[in-house]
Structure 1
Amino acid sequence: MATSADVVGRAREIADEVLFPAALRVDGADRVPAAQLDLLASEGYYGMAAPAEAGGLGLSWPEAAALVETLADGCLTTAFVWLQHHAPVRAVADSPRPGIRDRWLAPLARGEHRAGIALAGLRVPDAPMRVTPVDGGYLLDGQAPWVTGWGMIDTLYTAALDVSGDVHFLLVDATAAPTLAVRPLELVAVRASATVDVHFDQHFVPAERLVDRVPYADWSRSDSSGSAMNGFLAIGVAGRCVRLLSPGPAAEALAAELDAVRSGLLTADSATVPTARAAASALTARAAAALAVQTGARAVLLDHDAQRLARESVFLLVFGNRPVIRDALLADLTAPAPAPKIGQVAGQSGE
């Protein structure tokens, strides 16, 4: 049986030999090639969040973080689509509802059934996603923005609020219908993630698709700090930038900072996740900028990885942010630079 070291080691091979060489081509595509996602499924990576007894990898938190980082180092777009799958897997594994785990967990863990998330509809203050119980199930109404992987997933793990203030989590077929419409989003990066807005209009979901029901206040508290795991997408992109830099002081300084930021994310709790996430995004922006500067004029050519990584760093500045992450990141990015020493202006030492 493969060990966790084997899993991450194999992911490094895939990142370097399959994902990174194809990343520029994927960047210009309409969707991630099916062969890449099928490869991740064949390696068992769709079971990252599933317990071993259910056919999952049974990885610890640091091991799972290393897997996310490694795949994002190879191709952010592929890793981004794949990462959406794991929140539904965890939810199904922990579901208190009869039959949910037995029906859904094994196919999800094997990657035979692939899932995305439609949770951001709860974060629309004036018009959150709504759910209404009816005979035999539920009706969904509203818009879920930023749904990733459309056309590459089978199921949407969807959250909506009822009139009593409870959040319902439902497994919805990811198929267009008269009551379910999508609007593609034109992104500056990860375009092949096929990210869309999904609009529900009295869309019926059978009762047996209910995964859980929790008070909105409980969900809001857990959601407010954001996901530490998402920060490892940024760590992966920063790591690739550092690896592409020529050896020297700049690469060494960024590599040391990368180690520190990674450690901060691994040890963060709910109170410190926002600052750890902000540090990861800020580092990625600096690493991508350093790579562009060192590369020179070729960095603005569309066939060069430096411009792709720079655009991805912009995407990661805003992806998955909450107000507390945004505020910490703005503070980091706008902190005054140290004043130059007298006599060292304009590159002159003054000697």
Structure 2
Amino acid sequence: MTSHFLVSRARHLADGLLAPHAEQVDQEGVPASHIEAIKRSGLLGVSAPVAYGGSAAPGAVARETAEILAGACCSTWFVQTQHHTPVMTLAKSELPVRERLLGPLARGELMSGVAYAHLRAYPRIPVRVTRERAGWRFDGTVPWYTGWGLNDVMLLAGVTDADEALFAFTEAREQEGLRPSDPMRLAALTASRTVSLELAGLWLPEESVALRVPYAEWAKTDRPKPTNASPAVFGVAEAALALLDEDTSGPIRTRLDNVREQAYVLAEHPVPHDYLEERLSLRTQAYEVLMAATTAAVVAGGGRSLSLTSKAQRLAREALFLLVQGQTAESRRVHLKALADRP
């Protein structure tokens, strides 16, 4: 645990707003008022450069605040967590869009979503980008886009004819060449306002581009990211353990603390490509502890756990969501093998 002021703000937000309304949000959707509170808190700039209004906080602070938010209201956490990839993309960019958007995003004046996970389907290309006029044309389907109606802008990606990964910003609204589906009904996190996006000739100017690199180069930097255990897994597990008596929660908490400590040591390792198998193994172990904690909470709640107003039941569904959130073919392989090898 850290004493950073953003950790205190996250706890205040979690205890005063997010957790008390989590069951209602789960059924009705993340309200704009939750997002406005996140924007005001400074948490959207947790990792952003100080020169642009962010806090440039250590990784440990970013992980702890994520745990706190996810444990309080996983749907709200999931909407706002999309924002941090655009911020860090801009922080590393040397293109003009950095000066236009990094400050507003770092200060929480704007919130961004992301539409890039489909890049991991390569060599299949769900979104194709082609040169058109003094800009770029996007065509295809974004299978998942979270925070529709809550985000101000989005970071959209596709693959060019030259096999480049190209990322560009656009407003997060229906416009010529961009049409959202109806909100998806999901077993968990329906509240996150997730849609698919149909792109049919969406044109974006050159000055909207934040990153353009050979796909292989982007994939090399992206590959380590989904191998680490998500702080949200630990946050939801902690929330479930809080519903149990000490005799039941104690042994599970010991496992949780052990896996978290090992996972976070690797998260701090200066070479993100090192220890990939160990990272994937710890990610799988974190899921096992998460399922133990949330299952125990459901069992302890008995029949009451089947009610949609039950916190234990909500956490159990959120755990199912986290099993596949950020999943890649590699992480799926390791997880399935661990399940098959279990005695």
Measured after TM superposition, the shift of residue 6 of structure 1 is: 2.3
Partner of 1:319: 325
Cα distance in 2, alignment partners of residues 123 and 336 from structure 1: 29
Instruction: Provide the TM-score with structure 1 as the length reference.
Output: 0.90
Query: Residues 288-337 of structure 1, C-alpha deviation per residue, up to 9 Å, x if partnerless?
Result: 00111111111111111111111111111111111221122223333333
Measured after TM superposition, the shift of residue 229 of structure 1 is: 6.8
Partner of 1:34: 32
Cα distance in 1, alignment partners of residues 158 and 101 from structure 2: 20
- The reply on whether 1:288 has 2:285 as its aligned counterpart is no
Cα distance in 2, alignment partners of residues 279 and 163 from structure 1: 40
In 2, are the aligned partners of 1:225 and 1:324 still within 8 Å (CA)? no
Partner of 1:238: 237
Query: Residues 144-196 of structure 1, C-alpha deviation per residue, up to 9 Å, x if partnerless?
Result: 11111011012111111111111111002211124111123211111111111
Measured after TM superposition, the shift of residue 4 of structure 1 is: 5.4
Measured after TM superposition, the shift of residue 37 of structure 1 is: 1.4
Partner of 1:23: 22
Q: For this pair of structures, how many residues does the alignment match? A: 332
Cα distance in 2, alignment partners of residues 64 and 329 from structure 1: 25
Partner of 1:224: 223
In 2, are the aligned partners of 1:226 and 1:274 still within 8 Å (CA)? no
Letter in 2 for 1:51: P
Letter in 2 for 1:196: V
- The counterpart of 1:105, out of the listed 102, 107, 115, is 102
In 2, are the aligned partners of 1:265 and 1:273 still within 8 Å (CA)? yes
Letter in 2 for 1:320: G
Partner of 1:5: 4
Letter in 2 for 1:296: G
Letter in 2 for 1:187: L
In 2, are the aligned partners of 1:237 and 1:284 still within 8 Å (CA)? yes
Query: Residues 24-53 of structure 1, C-alpha deviation per residue, up to 9 Å, x if partnerless?
Result: 000001x31112111111110111120122
Query: Residues 169-225 of structure 1, C-alpha deviation per residue, up to 9 Å, x if partnerless?
Result: 100221112411112321111111111111111110011001011110112222234
Secondary structure of the residue aligned to 2:341 is coil
Measured after TM superposition, the shift of residue 116 of structure 1 is: 0.6
Cα distance in 1, alignment partners of residues 7 and 175 from structure 2: 39
Unpaired stretches in structure 1, ≥5 consecutive residues: 338-351
Instruction: Provide the TM-score with structure 2 as the length reference.
Output: 0.92
Measured after TM superposition, the shift of residue 265 of structure 1 is: 2.3
The CA RMSD measured in Å over matched residues stands at 1.7
Partner of 1:137: 135
Query: Residues 96-117 of structure 1, C-alpha deviation per residue, up to 9 Å, x if partnerless?
Result: 21x2221111100111111011
Unpaired stretches in structure 2, ≥5 consecutive residues: 267-271
Cα distance in 1, alignment partners of residues 340 and 242 from structure 2: 26
In 2, are the aligned partners of 1:68 and 1:79 still within 8 Å (CA)? yes
- The reply on whether 1:188 has 2:194 as its aligned counterpart is no
Partner of 1:90: 88
In 1, are the aligned partners of 2:120 and 2:328 still within 8 Å (CA)? no
Instruction: Could you list the structure 1 runs, at least 4 aligned residues long, displaced by more than 6 angstroms after superposition.
Output: none
Partner of 1:330: 336
Cα distance in 2, alignment partners of residues 108 and 57 from structure 1: 12
Measured after TM superposition, the shift of residue 285 of structure 1 is: 1.4
Partner of 2:280: 274
- The reply on whether 1:202 has 2:201 as its aligned counterpart is yes
Cα distance in 1, alignment partners of residues 124 and 93 from structure 2: 29
In 2, are the aligned partners of 1:15 and 1:71 still within 8 Å (CA)? yes
Cα distance in 1, alignment partners of residues 227 and 71 from structure 2: 17
In 2, are the aligned partners of 1:55 and 1:110 still within 8 Å (CA)? yes
In 2, are the aligned partners of 1:282 and 1:333 still within 8 Å (CA)? no
In 2, are the aligned partners of 1:143 and 1:199 still within 8 Å (CA)? yes
